[in-house]
Structures are given as structure tokens and as C-alpha cells.
Amino acid sequence: HDEGIQSMLIASSGAFSDLDTTRLESLSRRRPEDPAVFFTLGQQLRRSEHLEGADAAFTRAAKLLGSQPWTPAQRGTIRYLLGDSQG
């Protein structure tokens, strides 16, 4: 089984650990065209307060997903948490 995929499922449930973050980062290098990996990595990094990394992951997910509401909403939350209320 792929530990990166298992970590995606764990992170999607709201649970997270540093090991899952490491596995998701590794998975993102192996699957650079998979928007679900980058979106989940962004969620994981945001939850662990690595906001710049989360923003980068959501930016990559947005490029892969195209026009949709989820990544802009996530990035807006991050910009707010970073103190950029103008976004």
C-alpha cells in the first residue's frame, strides 16, 4: 500500500501528524500533476500552521484544478491568518 495515499485519507478526516505531512510532501513530488494531493497537503499544512507552505500547495492545486471556489477560499483564509485582510 502507498503510505502517501493513506496519509491523504487520514488528513482528509481532519486528523494529522508530522509523519503524515512528510508523506504528503513525498507524494506531491511523486504525483506533481495530482490536484487532490496538493489540496490535501495544503489543508494539512494550514492545520499545522505552516501557512506559507499551505498557500503554495493551494496555489499549485488551483493551477491543476482550474476555475473552482475551493482553493481561492482556502487561500483567502490563509491570507487573513497572515494578516493580509486585503487578500
Q: Which pLDDT score, from 0 to 100, does residue 64 have?
A: 96
Q: Which pLDDT score, from 0 to 100, does residue 66 have?
A: 92
Q: Which pLDDT score, from 0 to 100, does residue 61 have?
A: 96
- How far apart are the C-alpha atoms of 71 and 75, rounded to whole Å? 6
Q: Which pLDDT score, from 0 to 100, does residue 84 have?
A: 81
Q: Which pLDDT score, from 0 to 100, does residue 39 have?
A: 94
- Residues 6 or more apart whose CB falls under 8 angstroms from that of 82 comprise 51, 52, 55
Burial 29-57 (b: 16+ CB within 10 A, else e): eeeeebbebbbbbbbbbbeeebeebbbbb
Q: Can you give the pLDDT of all 87 residues of the chain as single tens digits?
A: 577 777 777 777 676 678 888 989 999 999 999 999 999 999 999 989 999 999 999 999 999 999 999 999 999 999 999 998 665
Q: Which pLDDT score, from 0 to 100, does residue 33 have?
A: 97
